[in-house]
Amino acid sequence: MKFKNILAITLGALLASQAVAGNRTVRVGTEPSFAPFEFVDKKTNELKGFDIDLIYAIGKAGGFTVEMHSMPFDGLIPAILTGTLDAGISGFTITEARQKRVAFSDPYCSAGLGIIVRKEFENEIKSVDDLKGRKICGQIGTAGALYVSTKVDGATLTQFNSAPEALLELNKGGCQALVNDRPVLAYYMAHTQNQNLTLLPDLITADKYGIAINKHDEELIEMVKKGFEKVKADGTYDTLYKKWFGDNS
């Protein structure tokens, strides 16, 4: 009788621990001014975008509940390192420098840096080589800002907290060009029909996005991996991609 009671208690404790693990709440950070990946819907004040839909789908498939948090882009990785966040999804380009600080999921999107220029400079700035010595806008902590500061000789880089702020400065004439992720720039041009700006056709780099996760959180790394595999296998990923980027992206 005692053995059966002990066995029952042990099994009960095991099932309880599995239930807790399966219903884990994961704090995920994002910087919601990076449409179409993440942005705030002006009508509903809700977070929307490809990244947002994707992380909720991965959470459902991976057995965890997503709790979204908004903060400046350059604060996301520090928040993961300090434990304020468990993960981040915000158009994170997978770089060697970032991989030293956080773990990344498998790539979920291929992207790259693009250039958007003021109309009056479109005959002078036709490629990345023409950015030398120019006034350029960028977003703090992004691959675009890092590229300009390390690869473009003689450039004067002015950085802003968000992509919309950088685009506003470009529109005002505070800089001649802006370097950022091309899908974001293309989305902006498509939705604003801004006649004062020109998006150059070429990619500067070929990058991939990943979900940033605390390196020491092996449980979450595995949950995200399994969840992502499931949404790719069951067609959810393809459906979300077509929703935000269309059939010909």
Question: Is 207:142 a contact under the CB 8 Å cutoff?
Answer: no
Contacts of 101 (CB under 8 A, 6+ apart): 77, 81, 215
Give mean pLDDT, residues 146-157: 96
Task: Report residue 52 as tokens.
Answer: 């947002």
- The Cα–Cα gap between 108 and 210 comes to 6
User: With 70 as the cut, is the pLDDT of residue 249 above it?
Assistant: no
Per-residue model confidence (pLDDT) at position 8: 37
Per-residue model confidence (pLDDT) at position 14: 34
21-110+208-245 maps to CATH 3.40.190.10? yes
Per-residue model confidence (pLDDT) at position 246: 74
pTM of the model: 0.78
Give mean pLDDT, residues 98-120: 96
Length of the chain: 249
For 61-100, b where at least 16 C-beta lie within 10 A, e where not — what string? bbebebebeebebebbbebbeeeebbbbbbbbbbeeebee
- In this predicted model, what pLDDT tens digit does every residue of 168-226 receive, in sequence order? 999 999 999 999 999 999 989 988 889 999 999 999 999 999 999 999 999 999 999 99
Check for a shared fold between 21-110+208-245 and 113-205: yes
- The Cα–Cα gap between 198 and 177 comes to 9
- Strand pairing class (212-213; 135-139): unpaired
Q: Which is nearest to 38 in space by CA: 66, 210, 29?
A: 29
Per-residue model confidence (pLDDT) at position 13: 38
Per-residue model confidence (pLDDT) at position 15: 34
- In this predicted model, what pLDDT tens digit does every residue of 7-28 receive, in sequence order? 333 334 333 333 344 589 999 9
3-state SS, residue 137: strand
- In this predicted model, what pLDDT tens digit does every residue of 53-69 receive, in sequence order? 999 999 999 999 999 99
**DSSP code, position 45:** -
Q: Which class is domain 113-205?
A: alpha beta
3-state SS, residue 129: helix
Domain boundary assignment for the chain = 21-110+208-245, 113-205
Task: Report residue 80 as tokens.
Answer: 């993961």
Per-residue model confidence (pLDDT) at position 247: 62
